[in-house]
Amino acid sequence: MGSQPDCKGRLFVVSGPSGVGKGTVVAEVLKRLPNLKRAVTYTTRQPRQGEVQGKDYRFVTREEFERLKEQGAFLEWAEVYGNFYGSPKHEVEQLLSRGCDVVLVLDVQGALSVKQQIPDSVLIFLEPPSLDELKRRLEARGTDPPEVIERRIAKAQWEMGQACKFDHIVLNDELEDAVSQLVKLIQETTTAQTVEGGERC
Ligand code: ADP
């Protein structure tokens, strides 16, 4: 195991292809685990309908993103289809040191990059039942034109090949099954980390 010497919380990274259900599953998991907090990613992409500033993402301009990058504010950052995404280093560190468990929702490359920096973070790969089902979910979500969906599916084939580098693979077929599996996994992993007598989140 790597080291997080001053941290009492544990970092969980939920990743997987676009459309597999990361946002949906994590939102449910957060309702059931009060000690788990989501660190909210910065992005330069436009909000989708229903997305809330500061809850789903921190929506910023390109200029703001560049400034934050120069200040070293990101644990990792990436450009995906012309939009920038970055995970908030300070927020993650603060939550962990307060004794919260933290969940980050990241693309596959971002997840692998976090693991290099924080080796005892726990990487979870959310897997779709099939590429056909993944395509159906992306179509049902209704946020992307057909050519973007095709690109996401092409990328998903590469991403699925990275699953073996993750600590855990969770199948998101029936939503409730995936949610309870993830809750159980987090509970089991975090018990070992609980500091006796220490403040929790
Ligand atoms: P991601 O965050 O991985 O891009 P989303 O959470 O936006 O994915 O989910 C993509 C679409 O799939 C959404 O319309 C969501 O309601 C749907 N979805 C998520 N999980 C399931 C599931 N287990 N079964 C069927 N549809 C699902």
CATH code of the domain in which 87 resides: 3.40.50.300
Residue 6 covered by a domain? no
Q: Report the alpha-carbon distance of residue 183 to residue 189 in Å, rounded.
A: 10
Q: Is 171:178 a contact under the CB 8 Å cutoff? A: yes
- The DSSP letter of residue 67 is H
Q: Residue 119's closest CA among 33, 24, 11, 200?
A: 11
Q: Which residue segment(s) compose the domain that 36 sits in?
A: 11-197
Instruction: Return the ligand 1 atom nearest residue 20 CA.
Output: 3
Residue 157 covered by a domain? yes
- The predicted pLDDT at position 199 comes to 58
Half-sphere exposure of 84 (CA within 13 A, CB side): 18
Residues framing ligand 1 (Cβ under 6 A): 18-24, 137, 140-141, 172, 174-175, 178
Residue 106 covered by a domain? yes
pLDDT in tens, 58-95: 999 999 999 999 999 999 999 988 999 999 999 999 99
* Distance of CA 75 from the midpoint of ligand 1 (Å): 26
Residue nearest to atom 20 of ligand 1 (CA): 21
pLDDT in tens, 7-66: 489 999 999 999 999 999 999 999 999 999 999 999 999 998 889 999 889 999 999 999
